[in-house]
């Protein structure tokens, strides 16, 4: 496909995915996320042809005008849609497949200072919510969804929905995934939850093994009930002028 044919294809894909897009001309003039992708196409070409300083300079110009920071070394597939295009960061060794949708604040970042592949691989037709962080050399499978504000630190299987900090699977292949083991949450408070769960199980076993003690307030409640009955008998009813 020619360069201009690819541009037309990407504009059409935005028209299909964004209900706010009314005309092709509006998408062309008012969607900085689209501009960022086009600028990256040029800077990536320069990067592959070893004009790396020029590629970095062009990417910084694109960042200034669009608010999207895509490293020239990143591999971007067809029809990437960056909606609202503010604060998106895509690292050098990131790989983004085709028909991916990202919202503002998304980061495809690395962890540590190691060389080589250190950024995520996003497969085709993935949806990434706003302010989501996907960190490290991991893979988000096809047709998956990353919830807004999530922090993804491990691989995501295809056809899954992940949410949380750190992210865990809540839907897979259209079915709800219920977490029954606190170890599956991988939250910094998991150890506290595990200890609490163990304590609850211990108390339940003790309550099941020991007879329930008598209610210490039963006698007092009986006295209160008898007192209320006596008060009802002693009530004096004042007439309000009946028969006048």
* pLDDT reported for residue 190: 66
Q: Average pLDDT of 107-127?
A: 90
Whole-number Å distance between alpha carbons of 127 and 145: 5
∠ Cα 153 158 164 (to 5°): 35
Q: Which residues contact 113 (CB under 8 A, 6 or more apart)?
A: none
Least confidently predicted of 142-151, 166-175, 200-209: 200-209
In the predicted model, what is the mean pLDDT of the chain? 86
* pLDDT reported for residue 26: 93
* pLDDT reported for residue 85: 87
- Residue in the structure block whose two tokens are 């995934």: 177
Tens-place pLDDT, residues 202-244: 888 887 766 666 666 777 788 888 878 877 777 665 555 555 4
Give the bridge partners for 81, in sequence order. Answer: 101
Model confidence at 7, pLDDT cuts 50, 70, 90, reads: confident
In order of their start, the domains of the chain are 3-178 (2.160.10.10), 182-244 (no CATH)
| pLDDT of 22 over the 70 cut | yes
* pLDDT reported for residue 174: 83
Q: Average pLDDT of 182-192?
A: 65
Give the bridge partners for 139, in sequence order. Answer: 121
| pLDDT of 173 over the 70 cut | yes
Q: Average pLDDT of 168-186?
A: 76
Count CA atoms within 13 Å of residue 7 on its CB side.
16
Tens-place pLDDT, residues 58-99: 999 999 999 999 999 999 999 999 998 889 999 999 999 999
Tokens of 72: 């020239």
Give percent of the chain with pLDDT exceeding 90.
Answer: 57
* pLDDT reported for residue 160: 93
Model confidence at 1, pLDDT cuts 50, 70, 90, reads: low
């Amino acid at each position: 496909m020619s360069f201009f044919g690819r541009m037309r294809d990407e504009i059409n894909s935005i028209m299909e995915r964004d209900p706010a897009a009314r005309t092709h001309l509006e998408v062309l003039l008012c969607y900085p996320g689209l501009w960022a992708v086009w600028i990256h196409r040029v800077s990536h070409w320069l990067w592959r042809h070893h004009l790396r300083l020029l590629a970095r300079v062009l990417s910084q110009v694109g960042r200034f005008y669009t608010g999207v920071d895509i490293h020239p070394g990143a591999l971007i597939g067809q029809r990437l849609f960056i909606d609202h295009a503010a604060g998106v960061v895509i690292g050098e060794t990131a790989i983004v497949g085709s028909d991916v949708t990202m919202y503002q604040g998304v980061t495809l970042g690395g962890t540590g200072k190691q060389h080589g592949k250190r950024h995520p691989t996003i497969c085709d037709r993935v949806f990434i919510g706003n302010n989501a962080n996907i960190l490290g050399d991991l893979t988000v499978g096809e047709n998956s969804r990353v919830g807004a504000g999530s922090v993804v630190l491990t691989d995501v299987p295809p056809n899954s929905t992940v949410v949380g900090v750190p992210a865990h699977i809540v839907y897979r292949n259209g079915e709800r995934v219920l977490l029954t083991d606190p170890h599956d949450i991988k939250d910094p408070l998991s150890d506290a939850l595990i200890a609490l769960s163990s304590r609850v199980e211990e108390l339940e076993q003790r309550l099941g093994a020991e007879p329930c003690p008598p209610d210490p307030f039963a006698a007092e409640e009986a006295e209160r009930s008898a007192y209320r009955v006596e008060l009802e008998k002693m009530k004096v009813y004042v007439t309000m002028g009946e028969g006048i």
